[in-house]
Amino acid sequence: MDNFYSISLILRIVIPAMYLIASIGYVKQFIKLSDKLSLWVKPVLYSGIFLHLILFILLFNKRGIIPLFTVFEGLFLCSLILSALYILMENIVNETCYGAFIQPVNFLISSIASFYLFEGLPLPDSMASLYFIFHAMFLAAAYACFFLSCIIAIMYLLQHNEIKGRHLGYLFKRLPALENMDISIARIDALGLALFFIGIIIGFLWLDIATDSVYRMNLKIGFSVLTAAVYLIEHLLRVTKGWKGQRAAMISISGFIFIIINLLIGRHGY
């Protein structure tokens, strides 16, 4: 048991540290407007992700079930998925400047999650079930998508401001193209929305089993439904009315505010 806590303590320090070091590399490239990322940055990031996965597996091994019983464990998984999503995105769009914004946020999330990983009251056994596990997993993945799209949406608005305001200076030269960011936001939000809906549906199934009633509304469920509605509206307006660009970015950021509130609410009050 001691071994586990010692190893997990080391990993809980090393993982955010590696994300921090990778962030520094990305930010340095962004500031210097270099064509290429320093050679050491990606290996550090990949190593951080690998160790993150290792710790997750160790937790799983210890518990005998996927560790998603506290908000911080959920955040821990969310951070891991965010890292993986970022790597996928970077390889698809072939643009490393996103890292200067996304990696520092990821470092923050992983730090909070790692610090409080063993804090918080776990769910009572009566509530724990596979349905809950899948519900939490899908939501963690959806939140990771929304984190990512929110950051890109902020970058979009910054670049949009630069171009509309005719400030073709520091940020203009460093931020990606508007259309590329808009496409990324649309795709990531669509993925997040799909995962979110699946997570909510599974959540209602879990609710039915755990509380004998699917209709037990609470603040968290209310905000989740609101969040889903916001992203669904964004998607529909984008497809039907052509709400691209600045408007879509602002809706994406608003949806994310609901997610933050949702996280702050904590657990369902059952």
Partner 1 sequence: MDTRGKNTNKHVVVLGINHTSSSMELRDRIIFSGNSKEIALEKLVQWDGILESVIISTCNRMEIYAVVSEVSKARDILLNFIADFHNISRAEFESNIYFYSCQKAIKHLYYVVSSLDSMVIGEYQILGQVKNSYRMAMQMGNTKTILNKLFHLAIEAGKRVRTETHIGKGAVSVSSVAVELASKILGKLEHKSAVIVGAGEMSKLTAKHLVSAGIKKLYFSNRTKERAMEMASYFDGIPIGLGRLEEIMEYCDIVLTSTGAPHYIIEKKKMELVMKKRKNRAIFLIDIAAPRDINPEVTKLENVFLYSIDDLTLAIKDNTSMRKAEIEKVRRLLSEEWENYFTWYESLKVLPTLISLRKKFEILCTEELERYSGEISKVPEPSRKLIQQFAASLTKKYLRIPSRVLKEMTIDIDPRILAESVTQLFELDKGKSE
Residues found near partner 1 in the complex (CB under 8 A): 33-35, 159, 163-164, 166, 168-169, 172-173, 175-180, 182-183, 241-247
- Smaller CB separation from partner 1, 30 or 143: 30
Q: Which amino acid is at 218?
A: N
Identity at 173, one-letter amino acid code: K
Residues 6+ apart with CB under 8 A from 153: 181, 185, 248, 249, 250, 252, 253, 256
Least Cα distance to 243 among 187, 251, 9 occurs for: 251
Say if residues 243 and 234 touch (Cβ distance below 8 Å).
Answer: yes
Residue 92 has a CB neighbour count (10 Å cut-off) of: 10
**In sequence order, what E strands does 21-160 have?**
none
Residue 4, CA distances (Å) to 54, 71, 73, 150, 165 in order: 12, 21, 16, 36, 55
Q: Which is nearer to partner 1, 3 or 166 (CB)?
A: 166
Minimum separation from the CB atom of position 25 to partner 1 (A): 17
Q: Extract the tokens encoding 173.
A: 């030269």
User: Least CB distance from residue 32 to partner 1, whole Å?
Assistant: 9
Q: How far is the CB of 153 from partner 1 (least distance, A)?
A: 15
**Which of 1/166 has CB closer to partner 1?**
166
Whole-angstrom Cα distance, residue 268 to residue 121? 12
| CB of 34 or CB of 61, closer to partner 1 | 34
CB of 98 to partner 1, least distance (A): 14
Residue with Cβ nearer partner 1 (71 or 178): 178
Q: Which is nearer to partner 1, 133 or 250 (CB)?
A: 250
CB of 164 to partner 1, least distance (A): 7
Looking at beta carbons only, is 135 or 174 nearer to partner 1? Answer: 174
220 alpha carbon, distance to own chain's centre: 18
Least distance between partner 1 and beta carbon 220 (Å): 35
Minimum CB separation of residue 229 from partner 1 in Å reads: 22
Q: What angle do CA 37, 40, 43 make, to 5 degrees?
A: 105
